[in-house]
């Protein structure tokens, strides 16, 4: 063992306090329903608790938790697929638009909904890489570790995702951005 | 689909990177130079920037307020439940054969001689246990155990978790047994007497047979009332003899029991004096009431004095 540190219970509680919110948001983005994200985030932290002896002293705990959460989600998708439930494309249309604001935001809301739908339709690896990079700002090295691929292919997944999202939004007016120099 | 000029295709990855804030300065410069002279790519660039801005709005918390907090509270409850069930274990080699050590958050729960392999372990037969192979902490215990078996350590001061004991009576028996010091010997009858239940001799033997933490709770120091090495871990009398030998307790040539004649005797008396086996009729009194010690120092370590009549201090037993 030698290298391993022991995260005692108070230390693990601190890990939960610091990281649960973000991991929950990540899984909430990936999952189709709130309760599902709840289960998956519990599973993530229970697994982390079991594996806490295997952490090395200078481990990046945040990245470690994202990796576990990603694996938990991928397993979940596999078993869901086996049960032939939850088809991404079906779910998109059924998903409640709970993020949408009042009428005034309707346009931005529509574009956002389309974007979310496009993200959900992405192949799993692209979707995970994109979410980790663009919504949780992990670096490519860590994303590669989470997805069992190189940093380069993690980056390629993200760019491929951006191309597809862009295509989805073709023909839609997008909110203006500041000038492009 | 229109075909893009070659240089536009080549610049595309850099262009996406630049528009979404991921480009290194050199790539950014290449893109700037290219879009200055290429309208199509300038539009592309603007479009990717706009897409990136939309994506940015998705960073807002996807869950209604309170959901994460509720989820966290449920997690804390499940973690607490997991901690009570979680028992980490590891199988180690030892001079006594493979030994499984298992510990919960409260302490060591199992020390088990493995015969039929891991699947036969009690760890997997008990409900409400979540076994997990692990072991940083257990390595240290294993080291101490090896020291003990090599005679370099006389105590295993481990916190214990007696959840594998099947009743309060069994826990009481284990407690009483743990009071028998290193290098000393008592009997099942003696333990039953210590517990104030002199007729519960068989129950005591049964409880010790199920001792979840042998060696640590020294059930090997408990013998028949006449000194016979009855029962250990089922039928492994040889193990019992070996553990006693580590502590210097002499056994008969035929391995049938301890050699009373080579041990110091203590029959509780107001002066707390221990004796030679030849002192009066002490050799005829039952083990249990009389405690045996392999060495004088072990008796004196618990505050006993040499008998003023037989003077074990002047006539020590030859080892």
Average pLDDT, integer, range B242-267: 92
For B20-55, the three-class secondary structure string (H helix, E strand, C coil) is: CCCCCHHHHHHHHHHHHCCHHHHHHHHHHHHHHHHH
Q: What share of chain B is helix, strand, coil (3-state, %, to 5)?
A: 45, 15, 40
B230 contacts B223 by C-beta, under 8 angstroms: yes
Q: Which DSSP symbol is given to B259? A: -
Average pLDDT, integer, range B253-282: 93
Using the structure block, give the residue that is written with the tokens 């060495």. Answer: B295
CA dihedral B26, B30, B35, B41 (to 10 degrees): -90
DSSP helix/strand/coil, B182: coil
- Name the residue in chain A with its Cα closest to that of B82: A46
Q: Rounded mean pLDDT of chain B?
A: 92
Smallest CA–CA distance, residue B99 to chain A, in Å, is 19
Burial of A91 (0-12, 13-18, 19+ CB in 10 A): middle
Residue of B27, B29, B32, B71 to mutate for A, most A C-beta atoms under 10 A: B71
pLDDT value at residue A1: 32
pLDDT value at residue A82: 73
pLDDT at B318 over 70: yes
Beta strands in B145-242 (DSSP E): 184-187, 222-223
Of the candidates B219, B279, B307, B310, the residue annotated as catalytic is B219
Beta strands in chain B (DSSP E): 86-92, 99-103, 108-113, 130-133, 184-187, 222-223, 264-266, 273-274, 291-293, 305-306
Tell me how crowded residue B129 is: count the other CB atoms within 10 A of its CB: 21
pLDDT value at residue A5: 47
Are the beta carbons of A108 and B57 separated by less than 8 Å?
Answer: yes
pLDDT at B232 over 60: yes
pLDDT at B123 over 50: yes
- Please identify every stretch of chain A with a pLDDT value under 70, giving residue numbers as ranges: 1-8, 84-107, 178-181
Average pLDDT, integer, range B119-124: 88
Nearest CB neighbour to B132, from listed A4, A6, A50: A50
Rounded-to-integer distance, Cα B319 and Cα B316, Å: 9
Task: Please report which confidence band the pLDDT of residue B319 belongs to, taking 50, 70 and 90 as the band edges.
Answer: low
According to DSSP, the residues that pair with B103 across neighbouring strands are: B88, B108
Residue of B72, B92, B131, B139 to mutate for A, most A C-beta atoms under 10 A: B72
* pLDDT tens-digit readout, A102-154: 544 566 778 888 999 999 999 999 999 999 999 999 999 999 999 999 999 99
pLDDT value at residue A125: 96
pLDDT value at residue A92: 44
Which residues 122-141 of chain B have a CB within 8 Å of chain A? 132, 134-137, 139
* pLDDT tens-digit readout, B180-220: 999 999 999 999 999 999 999 999 999 999 999 999 999 99
Task: Provide the edge-to-edge strand list for the sheet that holds B264-266.
Answer: B222-223, B184-187, B291-293, B264-266
The DSSP bridge pattern shows strands B130-133 and B99-103 to be unpaired
Task: Please report which confidence band the pLDDT of residue B255 belongs to, taking 50, 70 and 90 as the band edges.
Answer: confident
Q: Which DSSP symbol is given to A131? A: I
Tell me how crowded residue A176 is: count the other CB atoms within 10 A of its CB: 10
* pLDDT tens-digit readout, B56-67: 999 888 888 899
Tokens representing residue A60 in the block: 């990046």
Q: Which DSSP symbol is given to A42? A: H
Q: Which DSSP symbol is given to B4? A: P
Q: What percent of chain B has pLDDT over 70?
A: 98
Look up B8 and say whether it is catalytic. no
Cα angle A180, B1, B3; round to 5? 70
Which residues 17-36 of chain A have a CB within 8 Å of chain B? 20-21, 24-25, 28-29, 34
pLDDT value at residue B108: 95
């Amino acid at each position: 063992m030698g290298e391993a540190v022991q995260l005692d219970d108070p230390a693990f509680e601190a890990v939960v306090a610091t990281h649960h919110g973000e991991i929950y948001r990540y899984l909430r983005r990936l999952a189709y329903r709130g309760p599902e994200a709840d289960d998956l985030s519990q599973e993530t932290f229970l697994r982390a608790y079991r594996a806490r002896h295997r952490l090395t002293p200078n481990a990046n705990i945040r990245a470690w938790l994202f990796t576990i959460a990603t694996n938990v989600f991928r397993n979940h998708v596999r078993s869901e697929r086996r049960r032939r439930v939850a088809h991404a494309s079906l779910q998109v249309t059924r998903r409640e638009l709970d993020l949408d604001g009042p009428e005034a935001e309707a346009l931005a809301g529509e574009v956002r909904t389309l974007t979310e739908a496009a993200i959900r339709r992405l192949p799993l690896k692209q979707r995970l890489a994109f979410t980790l990079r663009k919504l949780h700002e992990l670096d490519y090295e860590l994303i590669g570790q989470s997805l069992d691929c190189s940093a380069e292919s993690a980056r390629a997944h993200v760019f491929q995702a951006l191309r597809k999202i862009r295509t989805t939004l073709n023909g839609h007016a997008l909110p203006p951005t500041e000038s492009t120099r | 689909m229109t075909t893009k000029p070659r240089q536009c295709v080549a610049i595309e990855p850099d262009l996406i990177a630049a528009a979404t804030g991921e480009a290194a300065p050199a790539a950014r410069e290449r893109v700037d130079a290219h879009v200055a002279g290429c309208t199509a790519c300038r539009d592309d660039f603007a479009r990717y920037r706009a897409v990136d801005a939309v994506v940015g709005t998705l960073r807002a918390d996807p869950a209604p307020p309170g959901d994460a907090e509720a989820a966290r509270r449920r997690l804390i409850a499940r973690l607490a439940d997991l901690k009570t069930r979680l028992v980490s274990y590891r199988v180690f080699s030892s001079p006594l054969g493979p030994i499984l050590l298992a510990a919960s958050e409260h302490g060591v729960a199992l020390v088990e001689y493995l015969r039929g392999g891991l699947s036969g372990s009690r760890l997997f037969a008990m409900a409400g246990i979540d076994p997990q192979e692990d072991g940083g902490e257990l390595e240290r215990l294993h080291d101490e155990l090896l020291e003990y078996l090599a005679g370099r350590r006389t105590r295993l001061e481990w916190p214990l978790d007696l959840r594998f004991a099947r009743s309060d009576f069994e826990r009481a028996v284990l407690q009483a047994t743990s009071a028998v010091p290193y290098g000393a010997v008592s009997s099942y009858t003696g333990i039953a007497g210590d517990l104030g239940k002199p007729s519960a001799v068989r129950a005591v033997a049964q409880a010790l047979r199920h001792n979840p933490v042998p060696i640590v709770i020294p059930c090997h120091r408990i013998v028949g009332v006449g000194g016979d090495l009855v029962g250990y871990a089922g039928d492994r009398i040889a193990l019992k003899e070996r553990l006693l030998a580590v502590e210097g307790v002499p056994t008969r040539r035929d391995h049938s029991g301890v050699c009373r004649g080579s041990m110091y005797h203590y029959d509780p008396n107001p002066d707390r004096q221990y004796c030679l086996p030849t002192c009066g009729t002490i050799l005829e009194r039952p083990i249990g009431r009389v405690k045996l010690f392999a060495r004088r120092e072990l008796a004196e370590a618990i505050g006993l004095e040499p008998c003023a009549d037989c003077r074990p201090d002047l006539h020590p037993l030859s080892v």
